Structure 1
Amino acid sequence: MYSEPDPATADRMRKAHVNAARTFRACVVGEGDSWGWRGRTLSRRVTTEDGERWLRLVSASADKAGGKLWEGPTQAELAMPASVPRPRLRASSTWTDAEDAYLAELYDVVTDTTITTDGPVLRSTPRLSGEWWLGLVIALDAVGEVPTTRVALRQEYLERAMPEHLGFTPSQDGVAWVAAHGDLHWANLTAPELHMLDWEGWGLAPAGYDAAMLHTYSLLVPDVAAAVRHHLSDQLDTPSGRFAELAVITQLLQTNSRGDNLDLAEPLRARLAILREAEDAALG
Protein backbone atom coordinates (compact mmCIF):
# COMPACT_ATOMS: atom_id res chain seq x y z
CA MET A 1 0.00 0.00 0.00
CA TYR A 2 1.27 3.45 -0.91
CA SER A 3 0.70 6.71 0.94
CA GLU A 4 -2.41 8.80 0.38
CA PRO A 5 -2.13 11.01 -2.73
CA ASP A 6 -2.68 14.76 -2.91
CA PRO A 7 -6.00 15.99 -1.46
CA ALA A 8 -7.68 16.61 -4.81
CA THR A 9 -6.89 13.11 -6.09
CA ALA A 10 -7.87 11.51 -2.78
CA ASP A 11 -11.22 13.34 -2.73
CA ARG A 12 -11.97 12.42 -6.35
CA MET A 13 -11.13 8.75 -5.80
CA ARG A 14 -13.14 8.48 -2.60
CA LYS A 15 -16.21 9.90 -4.32
CA ALA A 16 -15.74 7.52 -7.24
CA HIS A 17 -15.35 4.59 -4.83
CA VAL A 18 -18.70 5.49 -3.25
CA ASN A 19 -20.24 5.36 -6.72
CA ALA A 20 -18.62 1.98 -7.34
CA ALA A 21 -19.96 0.60 -4.07
CA ARG A 22 -23.43 1.82 -5.02
CA THR A 23 -23.15 -0.01 -8.37
CA PHE A 24 -22.53 -3.31 -6.58
CA ARG A 25 -25.00 -2.58 -3.76
CA ALA A 26 -22.10 -2.75 -1.36
CA CYS A 27 -21.34 -0.99 1.91
CA VAL A 28 -17.84 -0.05 2.99
CA VAL A 29 -16.60 -1.85 6.11
CA GLY A 30 -14.48 0.31 8.41
CA GLU A 31 -12.39 3.29 7.37
CA GLY A 32 -9.22 1.68 6.01
CA ASP A 33 -8.12 2.98 2.58
CA SER A 34 -5.60 0.99 0.57
CA TRP A 35 -3.95 3.29 -1.96
CA GLY A 36 -2.03 2.39 -5.10
CA TRP A 37 0.84 4.28 -6.67
CA ARG A 38 0.10 8.03 -6.78
CA GLY A 39 -3.54 7.38 -6.02
CA ARG A 40 -4.17 5.46 -9.22
CA THR A 41 -6.11 2.81 -7.27
CA LEU A 42 -8.18 2.85 -4.11
CA SER A 43 -9.36 -0.35 -2.44
CA ARG A 44 -11.62 -0.99 0.54
CA ARG A 45 -13.33 -3.92 2.17
CA VAL A 46 -17.10 -3.95 1.58
CA THR A 47 -20.11 -6.08 2.39
CA THR A 48 -22.52 -7.31 -0.29
CA GLU A 49 -25.51 -9.62 -0.31
CA ASP A 50 -23.03 -12.45 -0.94
CA GLY A 51 -20.80 -11.56 2.02
CA GLU A 52 -17.60 -9.56 2.37
CA ARG A 53 -15.69 -8.56 -0.73
CA TRP A 54 -12.74 -6.35 -1.69
CA LEU A 55 -13.69 -3.42 -3.91
CA ARG A 56 -10.80 -2.11 -5.97
CA LEU A 57 -11.16 1.08 -8.02
CA VAL A 58 -8.75 1.95 -10.83
CA SER A 59 -8.64 5.36 -12.51
CA ALA A 60 -7.04 6.72 -15.65
CA SER A 61 -7.51 9.71 -17.88
CA ALA A 62 -10.32 9.02 -20.31
CA ASP A 63 -7.99 9.01 -23.31
CA LYS A 64 -5.76 6.32 -21.72
CA ALA A 65 -8.43 3.96 -20.42
CA GLY A 66 -8.88 0.49 -21.87
CA GLY A 67 -6.31 -1.82 -23.36
CA LYS A 68 -3.94 -4.24 -21.67
CA LEU A 69 -3.98 -2.90 -18.11
CA TRP A 70 -7.73 -2.35 -18.13
CA GLU A 71 -8.47 -5.87 -19.35
CA GLY A 72 -5.74 -7.72 -17.46
CA PRO A 73 -7.63 -8.81 -14.31
CA THR A 74 -10.60 -10.15 -16.26
CA GLN A 75 -8.38 -12.03 -18.68
CA ALA A 76 -6.32 -13.43 -15.81
CA GLU A 77 -9.51 -14.64 -14.13
CA LEU A 78 -10.38 -16.55 -17.29
CA ALA A 79 -6.89 -17.85 -18.08
CA MET A 80 -5.14 -18.71 -14.80
CA PRO A 81 -5.49 -22.25 -13.39
CA ALA A 82 -6.56 -23.02 -9.84
CA SER A 83 -2.93 -23.76 -8.88
CA VAL A 84 -2.23 -20.01 -9.06
CA PRO A 85 -3.42 -18.61 -5.70
CA ARG A 86 -5.18 -15.29 -6.14
CA PRO A 87 -8.35 -13.50 -5.05
CA ARG A 88 -11.09 -14.41 -7.50
CA LEU A 89 -12.68 -11.59 -9.49
CA ARG A 90 -16.47 -11.69 -9.07
CA ALA A 91 -17.71 -8.62 -10.95
CA SER A 92 -16.50 -5.47 -12.68
CA SER A 93 -17.91 -2.20 -13.98
CA THR A 94 -16.52 0.74 -15.96
CA TRP A 95 -17.63 4.32 -16.46
CA THR A 96 -16.33 7.71 -17.54
CA ASP A 97 -16.83 10.92 -15.57
CA ALA A 98 -15.68 14.18 -17.16
CA GLU A 99 -11.97 13.67 -17.98
CA ASP A 100 -11.48 10.49 -15.94
CA ALA A 101 -12.33 6.85 -16.55
CA TYR A 102 -12.86 4.27 -13.81
CA LEU A 103 -12.77 0.51 -13.50
CA ALA A 104 -14.33 -1.05 -10.40
CA GLU A 105 -13.54 -4.67 -9.55
CA LEU A 106 -15.16 -6.79 -6.86
CA TYR A 107 -12.88 -9.52 -5.47
CA ASP A 108 -12.97 -12.18 -2.80
CA VAL A 109 -11.49 -10.91 0.44
CA VAL A 110 -7.92 -11.97 1.28
CA THR A 111 -7.32 -11.85 5.02
CA ASP A 112 -3.56 -12.32 4.79
CA THR A 113 -1.55 -9.10 4.56
CA THR A 114 0.89 -8.10 1.85
CA ILE A 115 4.53 -8.75 2.73
CA THR A 116 5.39 -5.09 2.28
CA THR A 117 2.86 -2.34 2.89
CA ASP A 118 4.76 0.74 1.71
CA GLY A 119 5.78 -0.19 -1.81
CA PRO A 120 7.51 -3.02 -3.66
CA VAL A 121 11.01 -2.83 -2.12
CA LEU A 122 11.78 -5.30 0.68
CA ARG A 123 13.63 -3.76 3.65
CA SER A 124 13.30 -6.41 6.36
CA THR A 125 13.19 -10.19 6.51
CA PRO A 126 9.67 -11.65 6.38
CA ARG A 127 8.75 -14.96 7.98
CA LEU A 128 8.03 -17.26 5.04
CA SER A 129 7.52 -20.98 5.46
CA GLY A 130 8.84 -23.73 3.24
CA GLU A 131 5.25 -24.33 2.20
CA TRP A 132 4.99 -20.69 1.11
CA TRP A 133 8.08 -20.99 -1.08
CA LEU A 134 6.88 -24.27 -2.58
CA GLY A 135 3.54 -22.68 -3.38
CA LEU A 136 5.30 -19.83 -5.14
CA VAL A 137 7.38 -22.24 -7.24
CA ILE A 138 4.26 -24.18 -8.25
CA ALA A 139 2.36 -20.99 -9.03
CA LEU A 140 5.11 -19.47 -11.20
CA ASP A 141 5.48 -22.74 -13.12
CA ALA A 142 1.72 -22.76 -13.74
CA VAL A 143 1.66 -19.12 -14.88
CA GLY A 144 4.46 -19.80 -17.34
CA GLU A 145 2.40 -22.51 -19.02
CA VAL A 146 -0.62 -20.30 -19.73
CA PRO A 147 -0.98 -19.55 -23.47
CA THR A 148 -1.45 -15.86 -24.25
CA THR A 149 -0.82 -13.16 -26.80
CA ARG A 150 -0.73 -10.46 -24.12
CA VAL A 151 2.63 -8.75 -23.63
CA ALA A 152 4.00 -7.80 -20.21
CA LEU A 153 7.41 -6.56 -21.39
CA ARG A 154 7.97 -5.15 -24.86
CA GLN A 155 10.95 -6.30 -26.86
CA GLU A 156 11.19 -2.85 -28.45
CA TYR A 157 11.60 -1.28 -25.03
CA LEU A 158 14.43 -3.62 -24.09
CA GLU A 159 16.27 -3.03 -27.36
CA ARG A 160 16.24 0.69 -26.64
CA ALA A 161 16.64 0.78 -22.86
CA MET A 162 19.16 -1.98 -22.18
CA PRO A 163 22.16 -0.39 -23.88
CA GLU A 164 21.21 2.98 -22.39
CA HIS A 165 20.97 1.82 -18.78
CA LEU A 166 23.20 -1.27 -18.71
CA GLY A 167 25.95 -0.01 -21.00
CA PHE A 168 25.72 -3.10 -23.23
CA THR A 169 23.19 -5.21 -25.11
CA PRO A 170 22.78 -8.69 -23.56
CA SER A 171 22.62 -11.76 -25.75
CA GLN A 172 19.17 -13.27 -26.25
CA ASP A 173 20.47 -16.68 -27.26
CA GLY A 174 18.38 -19.31 -25.49
CA VAL A 175 15.85 -16.78 -24.18
CA ALA A 176 12.25 -18.03 -24.13
CA TRP A 177 9.21 -15.80 -23.75
CA VAL A 178 6.37 -17.14 -21.60
CA ALA A 179 3.43 -15.82 -19.60
CA ALA A 180 4.36 -13.90 -16.43
CA HIS A 181 2.53 -12.04 -13.71
CA GLY A 182 4.55 -9.03 -14.81
CA ASP A 183 4.59 -7.11 -11.50
CA LEU A 184 5.65 -9.70 -8.95
CA HIS A 185 7.03 -7.70 -6.05
CA TRP A 186 6.57 -7.97 -2.29
CA ALA A 187 3.58 -5.64 -2.13
CA ASN A 188 1.72 -7.98 -4.49
CA LEU A 189 2.34 -11.12 -2.42
CA THR A 190 0.69 -12.07 0.87
CA ALA A 191 1.76 -14.18 3.85
CA PRO A 192 1.49 -16.40 5.80
CA GLU A 193 -0.77 -17.80 3.07
CA LEU A 194 0.36 -17.07 -0.46
CA HIS A 195 -1.81 -14.98 -2.74
CA MET A 196 -0.66 -13.18 -5.88
CA LEU A 197 -2.39 -9.82 -6.29
CA ASP A 198 -2.86 -7.24 -9.07
CA TRP A 199 -2.98 -8.98 -12.43
CA GLU A 200 -3.25 -5.88 -14.59
CA GLY A 201 0.01 -6.27 -16.48
CA TRP A 202 0.37 -10.02 -16.96
CA GLY A 203 1.55 -11.34 -20.30
CA LEU A 204 4.62 -12.51 -22.19
CA ALA A 205 8.07 -11.81 -20.76
CA PRO A 206 11.43 -13.60 -20.70
CA ALA A 207 11.12 -16.86 -18.76
CA GLY A 208 12.13 -16.15 -15.18
CA TYR A 209 10.96 -12.54 -15.26
CA ASP A 210 8.75 -12.85 -12.17
CA ALA A 211 11.52 -14.54 -10.19
CA ALA A 212 13.98 -11.91 -11.38
CA MET A 213 11.73 -9.08 -10.29
CA LEU A 214 11.22 -10.59 -6.85
CA HIS A 215 14.97 -11.09 -6.48
CA THR A 216 15.80 -7.55 -7.56
CA TYR A 217 13.34 -6.02 -5.12
CA SER A 218 15.05 -8.09 -2.39
CA LEU A 219 18.57 -6.74 -2.87
CA LEU A 220 18.46 -4.58 0.26
CA VAL A 221 17.95 -7.76 2.33
CA PRO A 222 20.73 -10.12 1.18
CA ASP A 223 19.47 -13.19 3.06
CA VAL A 224 16.08 -12.93 1.35
CA ALA A 225 17.71 -12.32 -2.04
CA ALA A 226 19.72 -15.51 -1.42
CA ALA A 227 16.50 -17.35 -0.53
CA VAL A 228 14.89 -16.21 -3.78
CA ARG A 229 17.91 -17.43 -5.73
CA HIS A 230 17.79 -20.76 -3.87
CA HIS A 231 14.08 -21.51 -4.19
CA LEU A 232 13.70 -20.13 -7.72
CA SER A 233 17.04 -21.29 -9.10
CA ASP A 234 15.35 -23.30 -11.86
CA GLN A 235 13.97 -20.03 -13.22
CA LEU A 236 16.95 -17.75 -12.54
CA ASP A 237 19.95 -19.95 -13.40
CA THR A 238 19.19 -20.16 -17.12
CA PRO A 239 19.93 -17.93 -20.12
CA SER A 240 16.34 -16.67 -19.96
CA GLY A 241 16.56 -16.07 -16.22
CA ARG A 242 19.76 -14.08 -16.48
CA PHE A 243 18.36 -12.04 -19.35
CA ALA A 244 15.16 -11.47 -17.34
CA GLU A 245 17.20 -10.22 -14.40
CA LEU A 246 19.04 -7.79 -16.64
CA ALA A 247 15.67 -6.63 -17.98
CA VAL A 248 14.38 -5.90 -14.47
CA ILE A 249 17.62 -4.12 -13.55
CA THR A 250 17.21 -2.01 -16.68
CA GLN A 251 13.72 -0.98 -15.60
CA LEU A 252 14.78 -0.08 -12.08
CA LEU A 253 17.88 1.79 -13.18
CA GLN A 254 15.56 3.82 -15.36
CA THR A 255 13.45 4.62 -12.30
CA ASN A 256 16.69 5.71 -10.55
CA SER A 257 17.27 8.20 -13.34
CA ARG A 258 13.85 9.66 -12.52
CA GLY A 259 14.60 9.93 -8.81
CA ASP A 260 12.78 6.80 -7.64
CA ASN A 261 14.10 3.73 -5.79
CA LEU A 262 17.39 5.52 -5.11
CA ASP A 263 18.32 3.20 -2.22
CA LEU A 264 18.44 0.37 -4.75
CA ALA A 265 20.95 2.12 -7.03
CA GLU A 266 24.13 0.75 -5.45
CA PRO A 267 22.96 -2.88 -5.10
CA LEU A 268 21.57 -2.75 -8.64
CA ARG A 269 24.98 -1.73 -9.96
CA ALA A 270 26.68 -4.44 -7.89
CA ARG A 271 24.33 -7.11 -9.19
CA LEU A 272 24.73 -5.80 -12.73
CA ALA A 273 28.50 -6.25 -12.46
CA ILE A 274 28.05 -9.90 -11.46
CA LEU A 275 25.65 -10.55 -14.33
CA ARG A 276 27.90 -8.73 -16.80
CA GLU A 277 30.79 -10.97 -15.78
CA ALA A 278 28.61 -14.05 -16.28
CA GLU A 279 27.51 -12.70 -19.66
CA ASP A 280 31.09 -12.18 -20.78
CA ALA A 281 32.06 -15.65 -19.59
CA ALA A 282 29.15 -17.25 -21.48
CA LEU A 283 30.20 -15.50 -24.67
CA GLY A 284 33.71 -16.87 -24.28
Structure 2
Amino acid sequence: MQRAFARSAQTLGATMTSPKVWGWHGRTLSSRVQHPDRGACWLRLLSAPEDKAAGKIWEGNGQAAALFDRRIRKPLLYDTTESSSNGYAYQAELHQYVDETVCSPSPVLHTDLDPPTAWWDSLRTDLEYVSSVSTDRVAVRQEWVDRSVPRFLNMPGPRITDWTTAHGDLHTANLTSATPYLLDWEGFGLAPAGYDAAMLLAYSLLVPGFAQHLRDAFPVLKSEPGRVAQIIVITELLQSASRGDHPELVPALRALATELCGCR
Protein backbone atom coordinates (compact mmCIF):
# COMPACT_ATOMS: atom_id res chain seq x y z
CA MET A 1 0.00 0.00 0.00
CA GLN A 2 2.75 2.43 0.91
CA ARG A 3 4.68 1.74 -2.30
CA ALA A 4 1.51 1.88 -4.41
CA PHE A 5 0.60 5.19 -2.81
CA ALA A 6 3.98 6.66 -3.67
CA ARG A 7 3.74 5.39 -7.26
CA SER A 8 0.23 6.77 -7.67
CA ALA A 9 1.20 10.17 -6.31
CA GLN A 10 4.07 10.34 -8.78
CA THR A 11 1.82 9.30 -11.67
CA LEU A 12 -0.71 11.99 -10.79
CA GLY A 13 1.98 14.62 -10.27
CA ALA A 14 1.16 15.08 -6.58
CA THR A 15 3.48 15.61 -3.62
CA MET A 16 2.47 14.43 -0.16
CA THR A 17 2.19 17.25 2.39
CA SER A 18 0.74 15.51 5.46
CA PRO A 19 0.98 12.13 7.22
CA LYS A 20 -0.98 9.33 5.56
CA VAL A 21 -4.23 8.12 7.15
CA TRP A 22 -5.40 4.50 7.08
CA GLY A 23 -9.05 3.83 6.32
CA TRP A 24 -11.45 1.12 7.50
CA HIS A 25 -9.60 -2.18 8.10
CA GLY A 26 -6.62 -0.89 6.14
CA ARG A 27 -8.50 -0.96 2.84
CA THR A 28 -7.63 2.64 1.97
CA LEU A 29 -4.68 4.97 2.49
CA SER A 30 -5.01 8.73 2.11
CA SER A 31 -3.11 11.97 2.52
CA ARG A 32 -3.23 15.65 1.74
CA VAL A 33 -1.08 16.36 -1.31
CA GLN A 34 -0.04 19.33 -3.41
CA HIS A 35 -0.73 19.32 -7.15
CA PRO A 36 0.94 21.80 -9.53
CA ASP A 37 -2.37 22.74 -11.20
CA ARG A 38 -5.02 21.91 -8.60
CA GLY A 39 -3.20 23.10 -5.50
CA ALA A 40 -4.09 21.33 -2.25
CA CYS A 41 -5.80 17.99 -2.93
CA TRP A 42 -6.69 14.78 -1.13
CA LEU A 43 -5.18 11.59 -2.54
CA ARG A 44 -7.01 8.38 -1.65
CA LEU A 45 -5.74 4.91 -2.53
CA LEU A 46 -8.12 1.94 -2.57
CA SER A 47 -6.80 -1.63 -2.68
CA ALA A 48 -8.40 -4.97 -3.52
CA PRO A 49 -7.28 -8.40 -4.72
CA GLU A 50 -7.00 -8.22 -8.50
CA ASP A 51 -9.93 -10.59 -9.04
CA LYS A 52 -12.18 -8.33 -6.92
CA ALA A 53 -11.12 -4.94 -8.31
CA ALA A 54 -14.49 -4.11 -9.86
CA GLY A 55 -18.07 -3.47 -8.93
CA LYS A 56 -19.88 -1.19 -6.54
CA ILE A 57 -17.12 -0.06 -4.17
CA TRP A 58 -14.41 0.11 -6.83
CA GLU A 59 -16.54 2.27 -9.14
CA GLY A 60 -18.50 4.25 -6.54
CA ASN A 61 -16.59 7.52 -6.25
CA GLY A 62 -16.15 7.80 -10.02
CA GLN A 63 -19.83 7.22 -10.69
CA ALA A 64 -20.81 9.60 -7.89
CA ALA A 65 -18.59 12.30 -9.41
CA ALA A 66 -20.37 11.97 -12.76
CA LEU A 67 -23.79 12.35 -11.11
CA PHE A 68 -23.19 14.78 -8.26
CA ASP A 69 -20.03 16.89 -8.70
CA ARG A 70 -20.91 20.62 -8.77
CA ARG A 71 -24.54 19.76 -8.03
CA ILE A 72 -24.26 19.15 -4.30
CA ARG A 73 -21.64 19.87 -1.65
CA LYS A 74 -19.13 17.09 -2.11
CA PRO A 75 -15.40 17.13 -2.93
CA LEU A 76 -14.75 17.16 -6.67
CA LEU A 77 -12.95 14.20 -8.20
CA TYR A 78 -10.14 15.51 -10.39
CA ASP A 79 -8.31 12.44 -11.64
CA THR A 80 -7.75 8.72 -11.09
CA THR A 81 -5.08 6.15 -11.88
CA GLU A 82 -4.91 2.39 -11.48
CA SER A 83 -2.02 -0.03 -10.99
CA SER A 84 -1.39 -3.57 -9.79
CA SER A 85 1.34 -5.47 -8.00
CA ASN A 86 1.74 -8.91 -6.40
CA GLY A 87 -1.88 -9.92 -6.94
CA TYR A 88 -3.40 -6.65 -5.72
CA ALA A 89 -5.01 -3.84 -7.68
CA TYR A 90 -4.84 -0.20 -6.60
CA GLN A 91 -7.02 2.73 -7.55
CA ALA A 92 -5.87 6.24 -6.64
CA GLU A 93 -8.31 9.15 -6.64
CA LEU A 94 -7.24 12.78 -6.62
CA HIS A 95 -9.98 14.76 -4.89
CA GLN A 96 -10.57 18.39 -4.04
CA TYR A 97 -9.15 19.13 -0.60
CA VAL A 98 -11.82 20.32 1.84
CA ASP A 99 -10.34 22.52 4.54
CA GLU A 100 -12.94 21.66 7.17
CA THR A 101 -12.83 19.20 10.03
CA VAL A 102 -15.22 16.27 10.04
CA CYS A 103 -17.94 16.30 12.67
CA SER A 104 -16.58 13.19 14.37
CA PRO A 105 -13.39 11.11 14.13
CA SER A 106 -15.49 7.94 14.29
CA PRO A 107 -18.74 6.92 12.58
CA VAL A 108 -20.27 6.63 16.06
CA LEU A 109 -20.93 10.09 17.48
CA HIS A 110 -19.76 10.38 21.10
CA THR A 111 -19.78 14.14 21.78
CA ASP A 112 -22.63 16.57 21.29
CA LEU A 113 -22.89 18.72 18.19
CA ASP A 114 -25.06 21.76 17.69
CA PRO A 115 -24.91 22.67 14.00
CA PRO A 116 -26.71 25.85 12.93
CA THR A 117 -29.99 25.74 11.03
CA ALA A 118 -28.12 26.47 7.79
CA TRP A 119 -26.09 23.26 8.23
CA TRP A 120 -29.24 21.16 8.54
CA ASP A 121 -30.87 23.00 5.61
CA SER A 122 -27.84 22.34 3.40
CA LEU A 123 -27.69 18.66 4.33
CA ARG A 124 -31.42 18.19 3.75
CA THR A 125 -31.27 19.97 0.37
CA ASP A 126 -28.34 17.86 -0.82
CA LEU A 127 -29.93 14.59 0.28
CA GLU A 128 -33.17 15.56 -1.44
CA TYR A 129 -31.23 16.12 -4.64
CA VAL A 130 -29.42 12.80 -4.28
CA SER A 131 -32.71 10.99 -3.73
CA SER A 132 -34.09 12.41 -7.00
CA VAL A 133 -31.25 11.11 -9.20
CA SER A 134 -31.78 7.85 -11.08
CA THR A 135 -29.20 5.07 -10.76
CA ASP A 136 -28.95 1.36 -11.34
CA ARG A 137 -26.57 0.96 -8.38
CA VAL A 138 -28.06 -0.79 -5.35
CA ALA A 139 -27.11 0.00 -1.74
CA VAL A 140 -29.70 -2.25 -0.04
CA ARG A 141 -31.25 -5.43 -1.40
CA GLN A 142 -34.64 -6.80 -0.41
CA GLU A 143 -33.16 -10.31 -0.37
CA TRP A 144 -30.67 -9.25 2.30
CA VAL A 145 -33.48 -7.68 4.34
CA ASP A 146 -35.57 -10.85 4.14
CA ARG A 147 -32.63 -12.94 5.30
CA SER A 148 -31.05 -10.68 7.92
CA VAL A 149 -33.86 -8.93 9.79
CA PRO A 150 -35.26 -12.21 11.19
CA ARG A 151 -31.76 -13.23 12.27
CA PHE A 152 -30.94 -10.06 14.19
CA LEU A 153 -34.38 -8.73 15.22
CA ASN A 154 -36.48 -11.89 15.36
CA MET A 155 -39.16 -10.45 13.08
CA PRO A 156 -40.03 -10.75 9.38
CA GLY A 157 -38.07 -8.45 7.11
CA PRO A 158 -40.18 -5.43 6.12
CA ARG A 159 -41.09 -4.98 2.47
CA ILE A 160 -39.41 -1.95 0.89
CA THR A 161 -41.99 -0.09 -1.18
CA ASP A 162 -40.34 3.34 -1.55
CA TRP A 163 -36.89 3.32 -3.16
CA THR A 164 -34.66 6.37 -3.60
CA THR A 165 -30.99 6.99 -4.28
CA ALA A 166 -28.94 7.34 -1.08
CA HIS A 167 -25.39 8.27 -0.10
CA GLY A 168 -25.34 4.88 1.59
CA ASP A 169 -22.87 5.51 4.43
CA LEU A 170 -24.02 8.70 6.10
CA HIS A 171 -22.52 9.34 9.53
CA THR A 172 -20.76 12.23 11.23
CA ALA A 173 -17.30 11.05 10.15
CA ASN A 174 -18.47 11.57 6.55
CA LEU A 175 -19.82 15.08 7.16
CA THR A 176 -17.78 18.23 7.63
CA SER A 177 -18.57 20.60 10.44
CA ALA A 178 -19.07 23.89 8.61
CA THR A 179 -20.73 23.45 5.21
CA PRO A 180 -21.36 20.41 5.41
CA TYR A 181 -19.56 18.51 2.66
CA LEU A 182 -20.64 14.89 2.17
CA LEU A 183 -17.60 12.62 1.93
CA ASP A 184 -16.89 9.04 0.75
CA TRP A 185 -19.40 8.11 -1.93
CA GLU A 186 -18.25 4.60 -2.77
CA GLY A 187 -21.42 2.96 -1.38
CA PHE A 188 -24.14 5.12 -2.92
CA GLY A 189 -27.14 3.50 -4.59
CA LEU A 190 -30.81 2.63 -4.29
CA ALA A 191 -32.08 2.22 -0.73
CA PRO A 192 -35.31 2.61 1.24
CA ALA A 193 -36.67 6.17 1.42
CA GLY A 194 -35.20 7.83 4.52
CA TYR A 195 -32.20 5.50 4.59
CA ASP A 196 -29.55 8.22 4.88
CA ALA A 197 -31.37 9.97 7.73
CA ALA A 198 -31.89 6.60 9.43
CA MET A 199 -28.19 5.75 9.13
CA LEU A 200 -27.13 9.10 10.54
CA LEU A 201 -29.59 8.68 13.40
CA ALA A 202 -28.43 5.16 14.26
CA TYR A 203 -24.80 6.24 14.48
CA SER A 204 -25.83 9.22 16.66
CA LEU A 205 -27.96 7.44 19.26
CA LEU A 206 -25.38 7.90 22.03
CA VAL A 207 -25.89 11.68 21.80
CA PRO A 208 -29.63 12.24 22.40
CA GLY A 209 -29.54 15.99 21.76
CA PHE A 210 -28.12 15.65 18.26
CA ALA A 211 -30.38 12.67 17.58
CA GLN A 212 -33.44 14.76 18.43
CA HIS A 213 -32.30 17.62 16.17
CA LEU A 214 -31.91 15.03 13.42
CA ARG A 215 -35.42 13.68 13.94
CA ASP A 216 -36.75 17.24 13.75
CA ALA A 217 -34.79 17.99 10.58
CA PHE A 218 -35.92 14.83 8.76
CA PRO A 219 -39.67 14.22 9.22
CA VAL A 220 -39.38 11.13 7.01
CA LEU A 221 -38.14 9.31 10.10
CA LYS A 222 -41.63 9.63 11.59
CA SER A 223 -43.27 8.04 8.53
CA GLU A 224 -43.81 4.37 7.75
CA PRO A 225 -41.06 4.35 5.07
CA GLY A 226 -38.78 5.97 7.64
CA ARG A 227 -39.64 3.28 10.20
CA VAL A 228 -38.77 0.60 7.64
CA ALA A 229 -35.48 2.35 6.85
CA GLN A 230 -34.59 2.48 10.54
CA ILE A 231 -35.32 -1.24 11.02
CA ILE A 232 -33.04 -2.06 8.08
CA VAL A 233 -30.24 0.21 9.31
CA ILE A 234 -30.47 -1.23 12.82
CA THR A 235 -30.10 -4.71 11.32
CA GLU A 236 -27.07 -3.64 9.30
CA LEU A 237 -25.32 -2.17 12.32
CA LEU A 238 -26.16 -5.16 14.51
CA GLN A 239 -24.65 -7.41 11.87
CA SER A 240 -21.58 -5.17 11.77
CA ALA A 241 -21.35 -5.25 15.57
CA SER A 242 -21.48 -9.06 15.49
CA ARG A 243 -18.22 -8.84 13.53
CA GLY A 244 -16.63 -6.54 16.09
CA ASP A 245 -17.52 -3.07 14.79
CA HIS A 246 -18.85 -0.48 17.27
CA PRO A 247 -20.25 -2.83 19.93
CA GLU A 248 -20.98 0.20 22.13
CA LEU A 249 -23.94 0.97 19.86
CA VAL A 250 -25.74 -2.33 20.43
CA PRO A 251 -27.82 -1.40 23.53
CA ALA A 252 -29.04 1.82 21.89
CA LEU A 253 -29.83 -0.01 18.65
CA ARG A 254 -31.80 -2.64 20.57
CA ALA A 255 -33.69 0.08 22.43
CA LEU A 256 -34.62 1.82 19.17
CA ALA A 257 -35.75 -1.49 17.66
CA THR A 258 -38.03 -2.04 20.65
CA GLU A 259 -39.45 1.47 20.22
CA LEU A 260 -40.08 0.92 16.51
CA CYS A 261 -41.52 -2.58 16.47
CA GLY A 262 -41.35 -4.21 19.88
CA CYS A 263 -38.37 -6.40 18.86
CA ARG A 264 -35.70 -7.26 21.40
2:152 maps to 1:197: no
Q: Which residue in the other structure is 1:271 paired with?
A: 256
2:120 maps to 1:133: yes
Query: Any unmatched runs of 5+ in structure 2?
Result: none
Alpha-carbon distance in structure 2 between the residues aligned to 1:77 and 1:143:
12
Q: Aligned to 1:109, which of 97, 111, 124?
A: 97
Q: Aligned to 1:261, which of 246, 256, 261?
A: 246
Equivalences for residues 17-56 of structure 1 within 5 A:
17-30=5-18, 32-50=19-37, 51-56=39-44
Alpha-carbon distance in structure 1 between the residues aligned to 2:256 and 2:71:
32
Query: In angstroms, what is the RMSD of aligned CA positions?
Result: 1.4
Q: Which residue in the other structure is 1:243 paired with?
A: 228
Q: Secondary structure at the match of 2:232?
A: helix
Q: 1:24: how far off?
A: 0.5
Amino acid at match of 2:143: E
Q: Which residue in the other structure is 2:78 paired with?
A: 90
Alpha-carbon distance in structure 2 between the residues aligned to 1:201 and 1:128:
25
Alpha-carbon distance in structure 2 between the residues aligned to 1:45 and 1:255:
29
TM-score normalised by L of structure 2: 0.95
Q: Which residue in the other structure is 1:282 paired with?
A: none
Alpha-carbon distance in structure 2 between the residues aligned to 1:172 and 1:22:
49
2:142 maps to 1:152: no
Contact 1:170 1:243 in 2 (8 A): no
Amino acid at match of 2:86: A
Q: Aligned to 2:237, which of 236, 252, 276?
A: 252
What count of residue pairs does the alignment treat as equivalent?
262
Alpha-carbon distance in structure 1 between the residues aligned to 2:61 and 2:153:
32
Q: Once the two structures are aligned, what percentage of the paired residues are identical?
A: 44
Alpha-carbon distance in structure 2 between the residues aligned to 1:139 and 1:48:
28
Amino acid at match of 1:241: G
* TM superposition outliers: structure 1 runs of 4+ over 6 Å: none
Amino acid at match of 1:94: E
2:56 maps to 1:68: yes
Q: Secondary structure at the match of 1:191?
A: coil
Alpha-carbon distance in structure 1 between the residues aligned to 2:144 and 2:5:
34
Contact 1:81 1:142 in 2 (8 A): no
Alpha-carbon distance in structure 2 between the residues aligned to 1:171 and 1:251:
14
Q: 1:170: how far off?
A: 4.3
Alpha-carbon distance in structure 2 between the residues aligned to 1:17 and 1:96:
11
Q: 1:258: how far off?
A: 2.1
Amino acid at match of 2:56: K
2:207 maps to 1:217: no
Q: 1:256: how far off?
A: 2.3
Q: How far does the alpha carbon of each residue in 1:47-98 deviate from its partner, in whole angstroms, 9 at most, with x for none?
A: 1111121111111111211111111111111112644210000101111111
